Amino acid sequence: MMRYGQQDVTDDDIQAIVAVCNSDFLTQGPQVPKFETAVAQYVSAKHAVAVNSATAALHISCLALGLTEGDVLWTSPITFPASANCALYCRASIDFVDIDIRTYNICPIALERKLVQAELLGKLPKILVAVHMCGQPCDMASIAKLSKKYGFSVIEDASHAIGARYQSECIGSCTFSDITIFSFHPVKIITTGEGGMAVTNNTEVANKLMLLRSHGITRDPDNFTVGSEGPWYYQQVELGFNYRMNDIQAALGLSQISRLNYYIERRRELASYYNELLEGLPLVLPFQISSCLSSWHLYAIRLNLEILKVTRRQVVEELQSRGIGVNVHYIPVHTHPFYEKLGFCRGDFPIAERYYREALTIPLHVNLTSDDQLFVAAALQEVLN
């Protein structure tokens, strides 16, 4: 099966992992801060805090920004549920902002409209999680302007978007946000097996993130409430977690990030070849904002169902039966049974729901060949006609 996304692990990656296995540290050791520095430098952020998943990064980012009971977090319905679940981990409530049908990202106009209403009701969000869907950056300038006007914090969920650029800056520079989080799950742009990272320019937030990823325990005497009782002494000053990344993961990440520029370049080439091959089919191809550079985590197309004689389900099943691992990203979060129990209904976010009915992700990963792409395009053409 040709999968929609897949990791690229080289001999160098394997050597890096083996070297850690032969070293003194398996859990967080010297590789973790090295990987943190590499990511911080790549994206031009002051601080980076590695954790064991993007989900963990979202959770402690919300806590570090003070999200708690009685607060509200907003995000896009077109995302992986983790972007929304983080609100509920903090006992805050969740709401969504509909997407822009061109970019599949949060629509800044819908956001402003919802903020005006929320202000009247006295229910402004504390945090907005902006998801860079498929690797295409959100309209961060508009979001930042609104965040200043209405006083909410911004977390960029850049699980799809390490290596992407907004205007001339790397996603992760946090010029328009408080924190940016990345995922290193194997289908993402670079991998650590499982893993994530939060980057920020705010030193206080970074210190809080570091505390929360490891039980809320500090070993720094400057942070003790009383004098140290001896060399063994530490204090738990917050309720934290074990969200640590280990050195095996960090060594893999460090080896992978050395190929990030090549990965983005390769994904870009693959995307433009698909654009060429699929032109003229009854499809909406990915729209790209000219001032941004997508990291092309996903190549998501929309079927023009009005003129097609086949359903989306038939297209998916037919392509899968030919060994093409197409998928759909994403089921709108508010339509999951768990979220319906919270009171959300179908029809609440009509653009997201329409996008979902038409969406199809076709394979895109760095080891895909031109022949693979020709095969996918020919199969699509046949199935759609």
Ligand X SMILES: *Cc1c(COP(=O)(O)O)cnc(C)c1O
* Residues lying near ligand X in the complex (CB under 6 A): 53-55, 79-80, 82-83, 131, 157, 159-160, 183, 185, 196
Quote the CA–CA distance of 233 and 213 in Å, as a whole number. Answer: 19
Closer to ligand X at the Cβ: 55 or 255? 55
* In the complex, least distance from residue 170 CB atom to ligand X, rounded to whole angstroms: 18
Closer to ligand X at the Cβ: 177 or 183? 183
Closer to ligand X at the Cβ: 54 or 270? 54
Closer to ligand X at the Cβ: 83 or 335? 83
Closer to ligand X at the Cβ: 65 or 377? 65
List beta partners, residue 198.
Answer: 49, 181
* In the complex, least distance from residue 321 CB atom to ligand X, rounded to whole angstroms: 27
* In the complex, least distance from residue 367 CB atom to ligand X, rounded to whole angstroms: 20
* In the complex, least distance from residue 157 CB atom to ligand X, rounded to whole angstroms: 5
Closer to ligand X at the Cβ: 133 or 278? 133
Closer to ligand X at the Cβ: 198 or 316? 198
* In the complex, least distance from residue 81 CB atom to ligand X, rounded to whole angstroms: 8
Closer to ligand X at the Cβ: 82 or 300? 82
Q: What is the largest CA-CA distance in the chain?
A: 76
How wide is the angle at C-alpha 340 spanned by C-alphas 338 and 342, nearest 5°? 80
* In the complex, least distance from residue 186 CB atom to ligand X, rounded to whole angstroms: 9
CB neighbourhood size of 178 (10 A): 20
Closer to ligand X at the Cβ: 54 or 143? 54
Three-state DSSP class for 129? Answer: strand
* In the complex, least distance from residue 208 CB atom to ligand X, rounded to whole angstroms: 20
C-alpha 189: how far from chain center: 10
Whether the CB-CB separation of 276 and 370 falls below 8 Å is answered with: no
* In the complex, least distance from residue 351 CB atom to ligand X, rounded to whole angstroms: 18
Both structure tokens of 210: 């570091």
Closer to ligand X at the Cβ: 218 or 295? 295
CB neighbourhood size of 25 (10 A): 14
Quote the CA–CA distance of 160 and 136 in Å, as a whole number. Answer: 8
**What is the SS3 string spanning 66-122?**
CCCCCCEEEECCCCCCHHHHHHHHCCCEEEECCECCCCCCECHHHHHHHHHHHHHHC
DSSP 286-345: PP--TTEE---S-EEEEE-TTT-SS-HHHHHHHHHHTTB--B-----GGGSHHHHHTT--
* In the complex, least distance from residue 221 CB atom to ligand X, rounded to whole angstroms: 34
Q: Where are the beta strands (DSSP E) in 169-287?
A: 169-170, 179-183, 196-200, 217-218, 235-236, 283-284
Whether the CB-CB separation of 255 and 35 falls below 8 Å is answered with: no
Give the strand pairing for 169-170 and 165-166: antiparallel
Quote the CA–CA distance of 281 and 312 in Å, as a whole number. Answer: 15
* In the complex, least distance from residue 331 CB atom to ligand X, rounded to whole angstroms: 13
